Each structure stands twice: as C-alpha cells, then as structure tokens.
Amino acid sequence: MPLLVMKFGGTSVADLSRIRNAAAKVRAEVARGYDVIVIVSAMSGKTNELVGWVNETSPLYDAREYDAVVSSGENVTAGLMALTLQEMDVPARSWQGWQGPIQTTSAHGAARFMDIPRTNLDAKFAEGFKVAVIAGFQGVSPEGRITTLGRGGSDTTAVAFAAAFDAERCDIYTDVDGIYTTDPRITSKARRLGKISFEEMLELASLGAKVLQTRSVELAMRYKVRLRVLSSFDETDETSGTLVCDEDEIMESRVVSGVAYSREEAKLTLVTVEDRPGIAAAIFGPLAEAGVNVDMIVQNISEAALGHDRPVTDMTFSCPVDQVARARRALEAAREAGQIRYEALAVDEDTAKVSVVGIGMRSHAGVAARMFTALADEGVNIKVIATSEIKISVLIDRKYMELAVQALHDAFELDKAG
C-alpha cells in the first residue's frame, strides 16, 4: 500500500467540527488507496495554556514534569481524531509517543529523535487498520519518561514518520495555503510558490517565515521527504499548496524565490577589542555558553589606534532583541575575568533583518547590487550585511522593515510567476 503522512496543526484541529473537517480529508486519501499516518498537534492555544500552568505552578520547573504536562494536548487530539475517523467508518487507532515507541534523547523540552521503529504500526496496518493517528511533538526517553521536541515540534514528528515509513509525501495542513514569496500581510503582491527547494525553505524557515519548524525542514532535506504545505480550510487536491522538494524537481529557476524578515533584531558592537589570534573565540565562546544566538558577525579592519600599543578592532554582531541582556552579562563577565578587553559595548535594539533567498544566486551575479540599489532608492541605510551561498541579509532600522520588504519584492519581480 502506498503511504501518506498527513499532519494537522493546532488551528486545523481547534474544535470538534474542525477535527471532522480534517478527518474527512484523511478519509478521502484512504478512498484513493492510501494507508495514512496522521500526526496531530494540540488544539490551538492548548499548548500555550499548559505551558502557562507549568510556569505558574513552578517557575524553575523540573523539565520532566513540564513534558508530562505539555505533551498532554496532543494526546487529546489524537484520541478524538481516531474516534472521529471511526465514526466515519475508517478503521483508525491512536498512538501516544511512548506506544510507538518514538525514541528520543532525554533532553526534556528539546528532545531529538533517535529511532522510530516500524513494527507496531506495520502490524496494525497488516490487521486492516487504514489510519494510525500519532500524537505529535512527543516521544519517550531512554529512561522511559515522556519527552517533547520543542515548540512547533509536530512538524518534525510528521517528517520523521514520513522518513521512517518511506511515505510518498508528507502533507502539512495548516491555516495558510502554502509558502509565499513573502509575508502577504506586508505586501498584497506576495504570491504562493508552487514549489520551493529544501535549501530555500530552510533559509526562509530559519529567517522567520514561521510556517514550518526549522528542524522539520532539515530532516526533510536529509531524508529527501517531499513536503507539501497546504490549508485545511480549503478544498484541496493534488495541485494545492506548495511542494518543498529537492531542487532537481524544480524546473523553473529563478534567482530569488523569496524575501524573509525578522523584526526583533539587535546590533551589538564591542568597541576597540584587541586584534589578536583567539579574540573571536574569547568573545563568541562565552556568548554561546550563555545561549545567545549570534547571527551576523562583522569584524572591522584592525588599526593601531591612538593610545593603544597593539592593534585593535571593533566587533559587531546581531542577535534577537530578547537576548541582549544575556549577551551583555556574558560579555561583562568575560571582561571581569580578564578574558577580553573592550572600551564600550554599543547596543542598537531597533533593528530588523531582511533577506533575499534563492538557489539561483549560486549561478547569477549581480543579486547583491540589485538588492542594495533597491534599498538605496528607498533611502534605507544598511547597517550590517551578511551572505551565504543562497542568501543575502541586511540589518536595517526596524521602522523601514516593511518598506524594505516591499521594495525588494518589487525589485526581484516576485509578483510575476517564475
């Protein structure tokens, strides 16, 4: 039997009627001849509520009990989904993580998959069950305790099952009808993409397009799981949504596929640090230990500045705004411990990051020039630039973020079909 994985996010299972709506989509695939593994999220808002209860009960909670509580939202939807399917005469059975067993590491709250054995589910399908409903976002540790995978983790559960069971495709049903060239709330010219490569999706996901958990895209890329993002609120067929796939499957080659942004960025500059081997390690080591997600890094040219007997440089980096306090503390501690010296720490908390992403950049010159010209034409000043093989990012004043996204969307003509 060909097998499909169908994942329904929180808004798609928000109440009983939506669960029925989702179940009808599952029934339709069973009627087409598929065995289906359904992955469900908690009803929307449920996980937030559970997390809130944990925090209120115990601010410095035991992560094992956090997982015991927050994993429960998915258990409810899994059982309800199985019951709904049964009411529709579709033989279905639900499974919690430990029953799989979905084996994960014991990193509670951020566990990673170790193994998804097929035996139990395969036996159920062989008995004639058509659908296995899996509670997403959870697993079981080697110690036998319930784990969760981190927020948004049901996407990753879905991809992991698709890989383990060689699914033909992994359909992610959500409240948007696909991946767009940029956020449609910022420009109405944003267009749904028919296909996008894993690499591009990975950049877009980690740059703040919140449709898929980044880890799920990494996993899909590693195991070549074809992922489709589509809306559970629409009538859907084979052509709906956006397919995230290997770049070989994408015929149309466009230079830039999308514009991503991340609104809450901060720019930090260490003024006059020593310019010597090991200085970057001495700065970014403590930041990493403090859990600061450093993104862009720029080191200025070194000079033997006035009053310094040895060469000095400035070191600039960006991180999310809510990590500034942590970064400051880590740097000050390193200075007090004599590991680094600097004259000042300049912090700009009013920046945003805007990026253009596209696999076509590998083979096309002039993308950066086009991007910078478009921003210059709008009078947007660039504070930091960073590039990768398929991405160019700039840090700019937050107040110009929407303008920059719109200008870049126009400059690369993303409103026109590839």
Binding-site ranges for ligand ASP (CB under 6 A): 9-10, 41-42, 47, 73, 136-137, 151-155
**Site residue total, Mg ion (CB under 5 A):** 2
By beta-carbon proximity to Mg ion, the closer residue of 230 and 390 is 230
The CA distance from 388 to 130, in Å, is 44
By beta-carbon proximity to ligand ASP, the closer residue of 113 and 400 is 113
The amino acid at 132: A
By beta-carbon proximity to ligand ASP, the closer residue of 42 and 411 is 42
The CA distance from 153 to 113, in Å, is 11
In the complex, least distance from residue 40 CB atom to ligand ASP, rounded to whole angstroms: 9
Q: With 0-12 CB in 10 A as exposed, 13-18 as middle and 19+ as buried, what is 52?
A: exposed
In the complex, least distance from residue 150 CB atom to ligand ASP, rounded to whole angstroms: 8
Instruction: From the list ligand ASP, Mg ion, none, pick the one residue 47 interacts with, judged by a Cβ distance below 5 to 8 Å according to partner type.
Output: ligand ASP
What interhelical angle do 46-57 and 63-70 show, nearest 10?
150
Q: Please give the structure tokens belonging to residue 374.
A: 């478009």
By beta-carbon proximity to ligand ASP, the closer residue of 79 and 418 is 79
Instruction: From the list Mg ion, ligand ASP, none, pick the one residue 136 interacts with, judged by a Cβ distance below 5 to 8 Å according to partner type.
Output: ligand ASP
In the complex, least distance from residue 75 CB atom to Mg ion, rounded to whole angstroms: 17
CB atoms within 10 A of CB 45: 12
Which runs of consecutive H residues, i.e. helices, occur in 224-301?
A: 279-289
Query: What DSSP line would sit under 45-72, residue for residue?
Result: THHHHHHHHHHHH-TT--HHHHHHHHTH
In the complex, least distance from residue 81 CB atom to ligand ASP, rounded to whole angstroms: 14
Among 58, 140, 127, 60, residue whose Cα is nearest residue 95: 140
The CA distance from 309 to 86, in Å, is 79
Instruction: From the list ligand ASP, Mg ion, none, pick the one residue 138 interacts with, judged by a Cβ distance below 5 to 8 Å according to partner type.
Output: none
In the complex, least distance from residue 42 CB atom to ligand ASP, rounded to whole angstroms: 4
Site string (151-180) toward Mg ion, x via CB under 5 A: -x----------------------------
Instruction: From the list ligand ASP, Mg ion, none, pick the one residue 137 interacts with, judged by a Cβ distance below 5 to 8 Å according to partner type.
Output: ligand ASP
**Site residues, Mg ion (CB under 5 A):** 9, 152
